[in-house]
Amino acid sequence: MDYLLFLGLLSSAIAMRWIVARYPYSGYNKPPMFGDFEAQRHWMEVTINLPINEWYQNSSLNNLTYWGLDYPLLTAYHSYICGWISNKINPIWCALKESHGHESSSHKLFMRYTVFIADLLIYYPAAFYVYRSDLLNKNVATKKFTVLLTNLFYPLLILIDHGHFQYNSISLGLALIAFVMATQKNLILVSAILFTLSLNYKQMELYHAIPIFVYLLSAYCFEERKIKLKTFLSLGLVVIVTFFIIWIPVLRHNPLAVIKRLFPFDRGLYEDKVANFWCTINLIVKLRSKFNHETLAKLCLLTTSLSILPSCFMLFRRPTVRNFYISLFNVSLCFYLFSFQVHEKTILLPCLPLILLSATYPVECFAFLQFAMISVFPLMIKDNLVFIFWITFMGFSILALQRLYIHLNQISLIQLCFSILCITITFPLLIAAIYIQPPIHYPDLWIVLISACSCIYFLIILIQFHIYQFKETTYKPLQIKKTN
């Protein structure tokens, strides 16, 4: 890549994030809980003021009902580093208990910078590494460039991290590098380490864990139906050692307390209106009133397990790079649609591998990425990010149309019309959610309809990509016989 082009893309990506960061964040001026911005700040407060054995435990100094830590240890360590720097700049920002709801302009600027630095250190390098190393598109410059542009400028990740306020770029960036390294035999151990780090930053990376395991097992640990024990043990060892190093500070205290915080089944099937199967089916059958948490958790486990089996089986049979990326998408979307306690923001997990396929299935991928944005529109309303949502959505639509033109020979007219129709149908709901008061008896009508429409679209695309994976699995290269 030309140096000036590299610099221009990087500058544009930073500028886009800075523009989004000028808008409000989750919980802005909304006591008493203040939102996700306060959650991230509070974790800094907890980690620098309390010993590690108290980070995940309820106490008089750490009230877990007020944004208690519920992400893995790497998130806690990251919070500690940010909190330590914050405390050096201004101790008031993270003073124990006294700093709750702190919203000074200087502190907000500091918090925004922490997200920029996370992008600069992890996500940007991941995006450019994919550009240089992705085996799926390695011989086609236009395809590689499409994936790079989508990685750098996909608005949903930017809106959630730099608008709503989170650090998804860390776990997603680590996972992104791990995906690509997993397709290169000499880097599979590094891939396993990086993905373990990603999983220990956000437990939602479990959405990707099963396809990675199946791919590494099938592609590298079997040869002529015999297991390659050295490779298998090496992969297992690096994962165990990485876990051990991360968890060693809490192993001598109460690791079960950490695990309980990471998987809070007592919260119920779902919280807000999410574009998944359970929230949608609840419009017809009131599941939460008919079944207890334990029964619903078992139902979700069974449904999710059954839904991911076909994709994993097809990946095991034919562990190609394309099949691997498709399986990452299929399995993570199954988890989003059918698993227990899903948040609307976890739609980012299926979006990540789909970005890698954006030049292979351009219409389907760009349409899904836009629908993923539509599915979180209620969150944008809540965070006062509607205006910047529309700006970035339209900008990404222009980028998508430009890349579709580049890949015109791969486009099905029927698929294109279907995608445009689905997105167009939802637009009146987005407008209604802002300007039209819903009926008194149905105060969440527009939000529920947006979620339900998004869910139906996700189910259709899930079936479609299972068909693509089946075709990839059953495809056999043409064998040309040599003649004397």
- The residue ranges of every structural domain in the chain are 2-29+103-146+153-220+264-473
Average pLDDT score over the chain: 91
Q: pLDDT per residue over 375-407, tens digit each? A: 999 999 999 999 999 999 999 999 999 999 998
Q: What is the pLDDT of residue 483?
A: 40
**Quick one: residue 177, left, alpha or beta (phi over 0 = left, psi -120 to 50 = alpha)?**
alpha
Q: pLDDT per residue over 282-315, tens digit each? A: 888 888 778 888 888 899 999 999 999 999 999 9
Q: pLDDT per residue over 92-107, tens digit each? A: 999 998 999 998 999 9
Q: pLDDT per residue over 400-421, tens digit each? A: 999 999 988 878 888 889 888 9
Nearest to 278 by CA among 344, 370, 365: 344
Q: What is the mean pLDDT of residues 252-260?
A: 87
Query: If you count them, how many residues does the chain have?
Result: 484
- DSSP label at 273? -
pLDDT band for 475, please (50, 70, 90 cuts).
low
Give Cα separations from 210 to 148, 185, 348, 468 (angstroms): 25, 19, 17, 19
Q: What is the pLDDT of residue 233?
A: 94
Radius of gyration of the chain (CA): 23
Provide the percentage of residues in the chain whose pLDDT is more than 70.
Answer: 98
Q: Where are the beta strands (DSSP E) in 158-310?
A: 222-223, 226-227
Is it the case that residue 479 has pLDDT exceeding 50? no
Minimum mean pLDDT range among 16-20, 137-141, 151-155: 137-141
345 CB contacts (<8 Å, ≥6 apart)? Answer: 160, 164, 166, 168, 376, 379
pLDDT band for 225, please (50, 70, 90 cuts).
confident
Is it the case that residue 478 has pLDDT exceeding 60? no
75 CB contacts (<8 Å, ≥6 apart)? Answer: 43, 69, 167, 201, 202
Provide the percentage of residues in the chain whose pLDDT is more than 90.
Answer: 73
Supply 308's token pair: 């991911």
Is it the case that residue 338 has pLDDT exceeding 50? yes
Q: What is the mean pLDDT of residues 241-256?
A: 92
**Residue 259, number of CB atoms within 10 A of its CB:** 13
Q: pLDDT per residue over 104-118, tens digit each? A: 999 999 999 999 999
Q: What is the pLDDT of residue 482?
A: 42
Q: pLDDT per residue over 423-454, tens digit each? A: 999 999 999 999 999 998 888 899 999 999 99
